[in-house]
Structure 1
Amino acid sequence: MTTHTQHHGPGPIRERRTGGPLGLMALAVLTELRASLRTPEFAVGAVAIPLVLYAMFGLPNESTLPGGTSVRLAMLVSIAAYGVVSLAIFVFGEDVAGDRGRGWARTLAATPLQTRTYLAGKVGDAVVLAVLIVTALSLLAAFAGGVELDAGSWLALGATMVSAVLLFSPLGFAIAYLARPRAAAVVANLIFLPLAFASGFFFPLGELPDVIGTIAEVLPTFHFGQLAYRVVMPDGDVEFWSDTATRPLWIHAVWVLGYAVVLGAAALLAARREAVTRRG
């Protein structure tokens, strides 16, 4: 795809190659990724905090579950889920809300750049960072914790974790458009930390009060965790770790996807309402 610039003077007409829609999306991803990496407290924190949590809660535990799963592997799944889900919520929540607060979203609306290209940049940025988180945690678990999986299981676990970027981005967008821009970070923390705690990402649900287990049954993070545990753990160990009977995988998938659809619709309605308000 080539765009032509108007030419009013002597000399050849210069052409600017955009690479078409895919080229623009790739450029948007690269731009967002560079912006994230230029913010050390965000990029380093996104990867470092899950590593620190795993080093604190996973590596010291040498126990084995009744079915033979090491607690270090179970904690790897839990902390990886925490890291990737939090990344999705904060990239799409706090970051997009910041763009709204700075007027960047309004500026983009006045340009030929389509909203889907802007969102593709956010998605690509989050996917790359999610891969970094999962890879770093997996290397730490394998080399420092002695966690052993076959290549297929490592890849399946990684793919499951990276899918959380898409599954939980609607929650981030809902926060970005329903909360005030300056309050989005606080709202994201107030929502995500209880979700992670009540879903057993920090401590097994069996070690928490029964009321937490009851609440967990209706949380999307809990159901995502159940999907992730089942990738690398037998059902018996998942039941022991989660203190709940296993269910068919499709039930957990419906819960997670249902939340994504409802929250995505809420974010879309809020974004359209804001656009109408700006035009009106």
Structure 2
Amino acid sequence: MTTLIKLEILRTLRNRRYLFFTVAYPALMYVFFIHAYGAANQAGGLPVKTYFMVSMATFGAVGAVLTGSAQRISLERKSGWTRQLRLTALPGRAYTIGKIAASAVTTLPAILVVFAAGAAQGVSLTAAQWAGLAVALWLGSFVFAALGVALGYAAAPDAVQPIVMIVYMAMALLGGTWFPVSDSLEKFARFNPVYLYNHLATFTRPGQSLDTVAVAGLGAFLVVFVIAAAALYRRDTRTA
């Protein structure tokens, strides 16, 4: 499993499309959003520069693991690589966990580059807040890595990409990525993992602590997505 994780990480970091769309693109979008908001100084209870730094970091992280893992799995299924792996001593649970772990590790560049852009634009956080936010967003990305693996096995290989993009954009649109969620939508957004993911940053507000409800919600989603990924992998094994 360790070898598989290393290979997956190296393969991802060598992908130029990954480096642009999940590392550089969110940072460019961050600069666009803070200039588009102009004189507005608050968004979702946070300074505009901080709010969109978090939302673009989560946008890049979700994109890195959701589209990356699902599309790689679809290609592996189509080429027969997954079938070859099943002939090795690698157990199914190790394959699933390895895919999730490798995908989540590759989110760090996406998060850190946006953080660097935020710092350059004047986002002011304490050292503990910077470190805590980076750790919270990285750990939260495991939820979407598990979802990506599940989606990679949920549909036929040729249909995975459009399905992932629809799920990805819908969650981002209703999860506060592009704009703060209004009160009328918030009761529905609480069932959206992207909304909960963005809420991990609330402890950076003065007098606020880590949103334990968001943490619990993401934990529940992680369990559901891991179980779904394992079940879909076993289903694919039976039909292969």
TM-score (norm 2): 0.87
Distance 1:192 1:162, change over 3 A: same
Cα deviation, 1:3-54, whole Å, max 9, x if unaligned, reads xxxxxxxxxxxxxxxxxxxxx60x3333222222332112322101211210
Q: 2:132 aligns to what?
A: 156
Q: How does 1:5-154 map to 2 (within 5 A)?
A: 25=2, 27-59=3-35, 61-65=38-42, 69-119=46-96, 121-143=98-120, 145-154=121-130
Of 255-264 and 160-169, more deviation after overlay is shown by: 255-264
Q: Could you tell me how far apart the structure 1 residues matched to 2:11 and 2:129 are?
A: 33
* Highest RCO, 1 vs 2 (Cα 8 Å, sep ≥ 6): 2
Distance 1:126 1:58, change over 3 A: farther
Distance 1:68 1:82, change over 3 A: closer
Q: Count residues in correspondence.
A: 239
Q: 1:216 aligns to what?
A: 189
Q: Could you tell me how far apart the structure 1 residues matched to 2:66 and 2:92 are?
A: 19
1:203 matched to 2:179? The reply is yes
SS of equivalent residue, structure 1 residue 149: coil
Q: Could you tell me how far apart the structure 1 residues matched to 2:65 and 2:43 are?
A: 33
SS of equivalent residue, structure 1 residue 58: helix
Cα deviation, 1:67-125, whole Å, max 9, x if unaligned, reads 99421011111111111122221232222222112111100000123445544553454
8 Å contact from structure 2 (residues 18, 64) kept in 1: no
Distance 1:256 1:231, change over 3 A: same
Q: Which ranges of structure 1 fall in alignment gaps of 5 or more residues?
A: 1-23, 237-245
1:174 matched to 2:136? The reply is no
1:270 aligned residue (224, 232, 235): 232
8 Å contact from structure 1 (residues 47, 133) kept in 2: yes
SS of equivalent residue, structure 1 residue 77: helix
RMSD: 2.6
Q: Which has a greater percent of helix? A: 2
Q: Could you tell me how far apart the structure 2 residues matched to 1:67 and 1:35 are?
A: 37
Q: Which ranges of structure 2 fall in alignment gaps of 5 or more residues?
A: none
SS of equivalent residue, structure 2 residue 153: helix
Distance 1:62 1:128, change over 3 A: farther
